[in-house]
Amino acid sequence: MSLLTVKHLTKSYKAGKLAVNNLSFELEKGECLGLVGESGCGKSTLARCLLRIELIDSGTILINNQAIEQLNEKQLHPYRRKIQIVFQNPSAALNPKLKIKDSLIDAYSQYKNDLKLVYFSYTSKDAYVKQLLEAVELPSELANRYPHELSGGQRQRVNIARAVSIEPELIVLDEPTASLDVISQGAVLNLLTELRECLHLSYLFISHDLAAVNQMSQRIMVMKEGKLIDQFSRNQLFAEERHPYTKELISFFR
Ligand code: ADP
Ligand code: MG
């Protein structure tokens, strides 16, 4: 079943240049769909359009077959819960003035009225925060610290905990490990894979790193200058019919 359907999505920042150019794809429930392409090709713009951080010029975005691009903020509220995002820079996404536990409770507070938790349970704030930290393999002492008292890898785990806290259906991961060292990168990718299985999540995993995308995803899309130029299942990565640009990306990561 299609969780996310995007049809002819187009977005420009200034007239004449399309950051996202007539993009169409489907993301199935439960899958990790990879999106790869060089810096500036429009990946983050697509991510921000899906989250309605940016308004689109034209096209359709359907979540569970419901078009959302025309919905007002109130109508959009339940759909906002279904899609969460993890950004590249883990520091920018956390409020530096809030203790980790207060950042972790934030999404729950916004959605608690129509939230039915399946994997986590809310008995008290402390108990809930403890479960979230456990889910991302962080010690519970971190709850009372501020973001600047954590490492980059720990901060990104907090962002992941925040994204999963309200049990969304889809998480858009926009280069979630690009600012981390190689060891933390591998650990965070493994954690994301585990969480996807345990919490039955779907991912749109965005990266300029074809190797990371290939490790994480069942299907891969390749974007160039705002357009989708190739898409294939993981085992077709090295197939002869790949787009010349995909082959270029492959040779770059060999
Ligand atoms: P990627 O995430 O693949 O690196 P982006 O989506 O960030 O690519 O950028 C796509 C294109 O849109 C680039 O040419 C970039 O310069 C431009 N762009 C991105 N954000 C903005 C913005 N807020 N205002 C104007 N142009 C932007
Ligand atoms: Mg980007």
Which ligand has an atom closest to residue 18 CA?
Answer: 1
Whole-model pTM: value is 0.96
Q: What is the pLDDT of residue 92?
A: 84
Residue 192 region by backbone torsions, left for phi larger than 0, else alpha for psi between -120 and 50, else beta: alpha
Q: Which of 35, 36, 45, 208 to mutate to test the pocket of ligand 1 (most atoms within 8 A of CB)?
A: 45
134: helix, coil or strand? helix
For residue 175, give the ligand 1 atom closest to its CA. 2
**48-84 b/e with 16+ CB inside 10 Å = b?**
bbbebebebeebebbbeeeebeebeeeeeeebbbbbb
Residue 33's DSSP bridge partners are 204, 219
φ and ψ at residue 84, rounded to 5 degrees: -120, 165
Q: What is the pLDDT of residue 35?
A: 98
The amino acid that residue 250 corresponds to is: I
Q: What is the pLDDT of residue 1?
A: 85
Q: What is the pLDDT of residue 114?
A: 86
Q: What are the structural domains, with CATH classification, of the chain?
A: 2-253 (3.40.50.300)
What is the distance in A from the centroid of ligand 1 to the CA of 13?
A: 8
Q: What is the pLDDT of residue 120?
A: 97
Listed as ranges, residues in the chain with pLDDT below 50 are none
Q: What is the pLDDT of residue 217?
A: 97
Q: What is the pLDDT of residue 243?
A: 97
